[in-house]
Amino acid sequence: MGFEVIGAGAAGGDPAGWTWAEVDLSAIAHNVRLFRSLAPRARMMAVVKADAYGHGAVPVARSALSAGAEWLGVARVHEGKALRRAGVTAPILLLGWTGPSEVRAAVEWDLDLTVFAPDHLPPVVAASRELGKRVAVHVKVDTGMGRIGWRDLEEAARWIAAIRDLPEIEVRGVFTHFAAADADDPGHARDQWERFDRWVRELEKRGLRPPIVHAANTAAVVRMPEAHYDLVRVGIGLYGYLPNESWYSRVPVRRALTWKSRLVYVKWVEKGATISYGCTYTAPGKRKIGTVAVGYADGFRRGLSNRGYVLVRGRRAPVVGRVCMDQTMVDLTDIPGADTGDEAVLLGDQGGDRCTADDHARWVDTISYEILCGIGKRVPRMYLRVPR
């Protein structure tokens, strides 16, 4: 399959030498359009925290914005600052808590702040005065996530009424976050939504409703249209993954990232030979073993030892023995012709088969999010536009 490399991320060495990730930006654009069509009345925030879930924040943000997203969401001030430095002018929300020492930088770089306690305000007011800017904030309420936000919604309403009158602050948004919108049982998300919706209607009644009400993550975009409001915050879906595996059949996302490495050494071993640290694998017969240039320092989890597979020549090569820091062994016995220099697909499609972050997540007992975010810094990202 041909592709056009339109940029490579920062990492040392030959970008395609040991292990690298190919990010198909046309898949990001496709997913933006898909989620916009699922929430046609809302604007869309592309959540690009954690370096766009490991995909690379700047190229993903640009693709998402040009495909119709209008907002960006990040977790940390330096993430927002990196986007601004790259020339991104779209509104950016800091989704979590921002410490007092970082507030000034946030205001300087025009990042909207999330606030949810009285002591969040003095640094905001100070930065506003110092920089001569009105600061946009979004008030977070906790309707059942139990993480951050006002838990007493009446108190939150009174607080909004008070800070609305400060000349330094503009209350641009109010929002909440679902704890279990992806669960098979929608009950908890429904309860959260009811609580939030009642409160929003109360704000409206009192003339306190800010311009942007938001609640939905990827899961709620898919299954709770009533929670779309003015803006939806799409993270995992943007990258072509869904938080509930049973939804893939009806939500045609496209996975954007393919993670590859190479066979750097191929050999036959005799029955009884052991492979890798701790000798946890013993060849049950004559086996053809390949060494792949990826390890847990790249984010190829050590939990994949003797578990899971990579794709070589479109076939499954099971991981044998322990995953090392920089190298991993696989069994090539059943893959005719497999040889040094062959690509090994760690995540993505090859031939008619595929291996996904959902598969890795199942094997190491986590979620696709953590697998994607965990792809290491030393794995160069290449940005592709695959012709179709």
Ligand X SMILES: *Cc1c(COP(=O)(O)O)cnc(C)c1O
Give me the active site residues, please. 49, 277
Task: Between 95 and 156, name the residue whose CB sits nearer to ligand X.
Answer: 95
Cα–Cα distances in Å, from 24 out to 5, 27, 378?
10, 6, 19
Contacts of residue 66, Cβ cutoff 8 Å, sequence gap at least 6: 29
Residue 178 tokens read as 């679902």
Task: Return the SS3 of 143.
Answer: coil
Residue 224 backbone class (left: φ over 0; alpha: ψ -120 to 50; beta: rest): beta
Contact in structure between 241 and 255 (CB atoms under 8 Å): yes
Q: CB 156 → ligand X: shortest distance, Å?
A: 16
The smaller minimum CB distance to ligand X, of residues 19 and 217, is found at 217
Tokens of 91: 């509104």
In the chain, which residue ranges form alpha helices assigned H by DSSP? 25-38, 49-53, 57-66, 77-85, 100-108, 121-131, 153-164, 187-205, 218-223, 357-364, 368-373
The strand pairing partners of 72, in sequence order, are 46, 92
Q: Please count the other Cβ atoms lying within 10 Å of the Cβ belonging to residue 178.
A: 24
* Cβ-proximal residues to 85 (8 Å cutoff; 6+ apart), any chain: none
C-alpha separations of 123 from 133, 135, 167, 212 in Å: 13, 11, 14, 23
Token duo for residue 18: 């040991």
Q: Of 182, 216, 223, give the one whose Cα is nearest residue 196.
A: 216
Alpha-carbon gap, residue 160 to 163, rounded angstroms:
5
80/380 with CB nearer ligand X: 80
Residues at the site binding ligand X, with contacts judged by CB under 6 A: 47, 49, 95, 177, 217-219, 233-237, 243
Residue spans of beta strands (DSSP E) within the chain: 4-8, 19-24, 43-47, 71-74, 92-94, 111-115, 135-140, 169-175, 212-214, 231-234, 257-269, 274-275, 281-282, 287-292, 309-312, 315-320, 328-331, 343-350, 353-355, 381-385
User: Residue 344: what are its φ and ψ, rounded to 5°?
Assistant: -120, 120
How far is it, in rounded angstroms, from Cα 196 to Cα 85? Answer: 36
